[in-house]
């Protein structure tokens, strides 16, 4: 992990886009679409792999590079999307985790885990 924070990344992404006059393309709808495309490109890497193959994908340098590049693309578009809409991504995640901790409390020893419900 690096010591760079989310706000610094958002500023760097905004400066990169501004220097290239890309802001005109960075409407929330366009960024959401780009985020979806990049997430699909990440999924494509794993599309036909077995669970065992997908678990070991980072052992192959070429595959690991592809995965990290797509993760970076997904994160970049997500941070830009949040910046445009004024969403604090870390605050949103903390709030969601808190809601999920209440919604899905730890089961007692007699209760099975419900792994199929999510919000």
pLDDT in tens, 10-60: 999 999 999 999 999 999 999 999 999 999 999 999 999 999 999 999 999
Q: Tally Cβ neighbours within 10 Å of residue 118.
A: 8
Q: Tally Cβ neighbours within 10 Å of residue 17.
A: 17
With residue 33 as reference, give the H or E element that holds it. Answer: helix 28-46
Question: What confidence score (pLDDT) does residue 80 get?
Answer: 97
pLDDT in tens, 58-72: 999 999 999 999 999
Report d(CA 39, CA 64) in Å as an integer. Answer: 16
Question: What confidence score (pLDDT) does residue 31 get?
Answer: 98
Question: What confidence score (pLDDT) does residue 2 get?
Answer: 72
Whole-structure pTM value: 0.84
pLDDT in tens, 72-119: 999 999 999 999 999 999 999 999 999 999 999 998 866 666 666 655
């Amino acid at each position: 992990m690096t010591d760079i924070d989310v706000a610094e990344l958002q500023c760097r992404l905004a400066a990169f886009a501004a220097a290239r006059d890309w802001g005109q393309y960075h409407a929330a709808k366009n960024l959401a679409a780009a985020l979806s495309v990049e997430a699909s490109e990440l999924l494509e890497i794993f599309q036909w792999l077995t669970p065992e193959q997908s678990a070991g994908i980072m052992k192959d340098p070429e595959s690991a590079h592809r995965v990290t590049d797509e993760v970076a693309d997904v994160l970049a578009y997500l941070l830009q999307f949040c910046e445009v809409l004024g969403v604090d991504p870390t605050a949103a995640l903390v709030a969601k985790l808190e809601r999920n901790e209440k919604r899905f409390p730890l089961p007692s020893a007699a209760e099975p885990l419900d792994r199929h419900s999510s919000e």
